[in-house]
Amino acid sequence: ADNEPSLYRAAGLAYSPRQAPFAHAKELALVLGMPPVLVERALPFVTVFTGASKVDVLVAAPEVIAALPGMTPSGVDGFLKERPTLGKDQA
């Protein structure tokens, strides 16, 4: 970790790791060695920690909802069909 700034400089980057949580998921693209194609494919499923104790299922990607404990393929399908009609107080 001590030599990270020098690795970023050696790669020709004008920034170094800030040693803090990401403020936005797109900062993943700033990680040295992270292939752009991987970032592009991962971004729909990446979030930053907001302090919330639960996943916001009203905006989460279907793949995230499918990964929730106890979720089944038919449960995901049913929920996604109904999700547009749900309000914040119903989820």
29, 39 in Cβ contact below 8 A?
Answer: yes
pLDDT digits (tens, 9 = 90+) for 15-74: 998 888 888 999 999 999 999 999 999 998 888 888 888 888 998 889 989 999 999 999
Q: Which residue type does 78 have?
A: G
Provide the sign of the torsion angle of the four alpha carbons 14, 17, 20, 26, taken in this order.
Answer: positive
pLDDT at 19: 86
Q: What are phi and psi of 13, to 5 degrees?
A: -90, 145
Residue 4 confidence (pLDDT) above 80? yes
Structure tokens at 78: 């049913």
Q: Distance (Å, rounded) from C-alpha 38 to C-alpha 28?
A: 10
**Residue 56: which of 28, 87, 25 has the closest Cα?**
87
Ordered by start, the domain boundaries in the chain are 1-49, 52-91
pLDDT at 1: 57
Residue 90 confidence (pLDDT) above 90? no
